[in-house]
Structure 1
Amino acid sequence: MESTQGLPLEVRLSAYLDGQLPDSEVDEINAILAEDDDARGVYEKLKLGSEFGARAFDRLLQEPIPLDLVRNIKDAGKTEDEPPKSGFAAIPIATAAPRRKSPFWPKALAASMALFIAGGAAGYLVSEQRDAAQELASTQFAPARTWLDDIADYHRIYSRQTRHLVEVPASEQDHIVEWLSASTGVNFALPDLSGQNLTFEGARLLVAGGKPTAQLLYRNAENEIFAICFLQSDPVGSATALSESMRNDIGLVSWQKGNASYVVVGPSADPGLERLAETVSASI
């Protein structure tokens, strides 16, 4: 077996797949496949192409021989074997120049091998196209991410904080209103949610949906964290209806009013989340 050192990886893997590598190189290829994800991907595609070509070759051998081809072969045999029908003496067989028959099987074998190679290439291309189609489908049909997805991710992180729950503490309420109004472009008033047994803890500035977003954080008696988040959006004539959604263990109630989009965030198991959102919508 000839060495494949210095040849492209695809060639070496093809020889490896066909059992045509020297023993010394088999160990080397085994090590490459064990450590290199890209090499394993190429190997799997070559393997798929080889299997595709083998199946195509098997189907070719199972195909019946065309009747016209059988007749042509028989007619050719008769033409060569039959003695001439003219009145001239036949040329003695010993002195007649033998006619060389067309080497049919070598041609058939060559054609079959060409088909086998083409089948392998087709299998490789089919695999490439299938991977590309799967990647395109996952891109086209994946649900579009919204600003609420960003808010849920932030809430899941910050609601577990203790010392660093907020960026600016509740003691600086005037600064919070001035700071977040200027940063988001949304004028607002801090909602007083003490009637819902929620204590204002402070605020943060986030980025959600690619826009600066305010986050006001509150805590209840059970130490659960609730948040009011808002960002600037296209103006609406009147406030939209409340819309509930969930992101695993996080509940969200969102709406639009004026030039802003709002959402109240809390534990999805809390039955009063919608009532809390109604209170916020009326007072913010």
Structure 2
Amino acid sequence: MESTQGLPLEVRLSAYLDGQLPEAEVEEINALLAADDAARATYEKLKLGSEFGARAFDRMLQDPIPLDLVRNIKEAGKDEDETPKLGIAAIPVSAVPAPRRSAFWPQALAASLVIFLAGGAAGYLISEQKQTSQVASASFAPVRTWLDDIADYHRIYAHQTRHLAEVAADDKAHIVDWLTASTGVGFTVPDLSAQNLTFEGARLLVAGGRPTAQLLYRDAENEVFAICFLKSEPVDGKTELTESIRDDLGLISWQRGNASFVVVGPSSDPNLERIAQAVSTSI
């Protein structure tokens, strides 16, 4: 281990951190740190930077290797394989570089310190960039609404046969009392026989964090349709019907007073809008 006497304090403290000092200098630095507040503050900063750089480097090692880098490495390997290799005897003596004298190690240590701090800064910038990217992604992520919850529920229950409804259709009076009390929305069960739909019963769901009623109907082709509603911010009168699509499902929604309604069915059904019109005037 070489002596760091006469070198800047930061270099000596860096060598002290790395365990690269002779024992006599270790004792000297210990005494300095115990008596000098400024030296101790510098040491703590260097220690913090070392720990931060190590963590940043560990995170960089855990990141997946970019495909472009892998391809470039493979291409470089191919180029080296294709380059003709000359035997040792074919290399002129004058082409063999003379051995270089090693630089004094404190200079290498100082250079290493600069590279390390630069690496720590790079790690910090990479970390900040990732956090900013994550925040931006979260900020621009599509906002999930109660209609998304309804679509998810419908995909599950539409495939049920024996357990399609929680309460059967023959207990209509109980369904009205139960769901009115649960959701805070007054309603009547629409008769959709003119639209060739048979009432199958009802369920209580949670959509958008609120209790939501689901009235279930089935057509002659065994397709399931649903009317869902929940209590919402009040509006004057009734809004226009709005159609949206979630993959294979069509949803036609509107608001009336303090309630929001939606009719859900196969997006390919040409009668979905006509069914929603009938529901909006009878529920």
Does residue 45 (structure 1) correspond to residue 97 (structure 2)? The answer is no
The residue type equivalent to 2:187 in the other structure is F
Amino acid at match of 1:219: R
Which residue in the other structure is 1:210 paired with? 209
Number of the residue aligned with 1:251: 250
Q: Which residues of 2 match residues 1-284 of structure 1 at below 5 A?
A: 43-46=58-61, 108-284=107-283
| Structure 2 Cα separation of the partners of residues 245 and 275 of structure 1 | 15
Q: Which amino acid counterpart does residue 60 of structure 2 have in structure 1?
A: K
SS of aligned partner of 1:236: coil
Indicate conservation of the 8 Å contact 1:46/1:120, yes or no. Answer: no
251 and 42 in structure 1: CA distance in 2 versus 1, 3 angstrom threshold: farther
Instruction: Please report how far the alpha carbon of residue 137 of structure 1 lies from its aligned counterpart in structure 2 after TM superposition.
Output: 1.5
Mean Cα deviation higher: 170-179 or 122-131: 122-131
Q: CA deviation at 1:171?
A: 0.6
Residue 30 of structure 2 is matched in structure 1 by: none
Relative to structure 1, the CA distance from residue 264 to residue 42 in structure 2 (aligned partners, 3 Å threshold; closer, same or farther) is farther
CA distance in 2: counterparts of 1:131 and 1:157, whole angstroms: 37
**Across the two proteins, how many residue pairs are aligned to each other?**
189
Q: Distance in 2 between matches of 1:186 and 1:234?
A: 12
Distance 1:242 1:149 in 2: 17
C-alpha displacement at 1:110, in angstroms? 3.7
State the Cα distance separating 1:47 from its structure 2 match.
Answer: 7.9
- Give the whole-Å Cα distance in 2 for the aligned partners of 1:200 and 1:45: 59
**Displacement after TM superposition at 1:107 (Å):** 6.2
Shift of 1:274: 1.1
Distance 1:112 1:269, change over 3 A: same
Task: With the length of structure 2 as denominator, give the TM-score of the two structures.
Answer: 0.63
**Are the structure 2 counterparts of residues 195 and 202 from structure 1 closer, same or farther at C-alpha, using a change threshold of 3 Å?**
same
Root mean square deviation, CA, Å: 2.0
- Deviations along 1:9-61, one digit per CA (max 9) or x if unpaired, are xxxxxxxxxxxxxxxxxxxxxxxxxxxxxxxx96451588xxxxxxxxxxxxx
In 1, the alpha carbon distance for the partners of 2:237 and 2:188 equals: 19
- The whole-number CA distance in structure 1 between the counterparts of 2:62 and 2:281 is 65
Deviations 1:115-164 (A, max 9, x none): 21112212221222122122212221111111101101100100011111
Q: Is the 8 A contact 1:240 1:257 kept in 2?
A: yes
Q: TM-score, normalised by structure 1?
A: 0.63
* Deviation string, structure 1 residues 52-93 (Cα, Å, up to 9, x no partner): xxxxxxxxxxxxxxxxxxxxxxxxxxxxxxxxxxxxxxxxxx
Gaps of 5+ in 1: 1-40, 49-103
Distance 1:138 1:47 in 2: 21
**Cα offset, 1:105, TM superposition:** 6.8
Q: Percent identity over the alignment?
A: 60
- Distance in 2 of aligned mates of 1:212 and 1:282: 23
TM superposition outliers: structure 1 runs of 4+ over 2 Å: 41-44, 104-112
Larger radius of gyration between Structure 1 and Structure 2: 1
